[in-house]
Structure 1
């Protein structure tokens, strides 16, 4: 007996041929895909190397630029620093002169009062010394007179 769902033999051969053709196409596509994958991997590797080289070159260029910038800025910074230091020095000189002038003015204002005080103190010292010398001379004269009187009295006796 013949099966209900059986296909005629030439239809089966057609399907087998179709399957073989599909298998051949799939194999070709697979081979092309492998070649393409290898090409993509190779190209990716080449691009990675190229990118890395470009980055290294960019870094070297940036370092060179920074060095040139530093070389250009260094003299300018030095000049600015010298100018600022000169300005500070000038301001310090002006302040010093102003302070000296203020001190001179204060001394001039205080000089008469200080002179009077010094003169008064000197006068007091002179008065004390004169009094002391006077007292010493008076005592010395009294002692001399007393000895003279004693000597005269002892001669009289």
Structure 2
């Protein structure tokens, strides 16, 4: 469990000075603070949220800079050294989820994270996305790892 201090009130209003004797110690759900390499500049709010969640779970996240070459797509992150692409869903459409998995893997990702939390994606819909994506490959095996994040939990493949 990570420990977070919540500062109850400042020692002086208008200054960034806090009295740590007035802070409360609370337990948070993460395993600890991960390690961030790179800059958050240029990330969307959805990407920042995922990075924050990965860090809260003790992951090492390296932000891969966007390519300056026209038409060249780069991966988003290395998570614990694994090439990772993040795809965010804006609505809980199963076909869109399948397409996002395919595009992420075509970009060279070893892991594709589909963040369906904002879209309200259910765990059942996440399972349907994985089942349909599996059927789009000739050997019925997705050539990478998939994580689909829902508000109810994480669905993974394999």
TM-score category (smaller protein): under 0.3
TM-score w.r.t. length of structure 2: 0.14
Q: Which structure has more strand as a fraction of its residues?
A: 2
Q: Which structure has more helix as a fraction of its residues?
A: 1
**Higher RCO structure, 1 or 2 (CA under 8 Å, sep 6+):** 2
Structure number with bigger Rg = 1
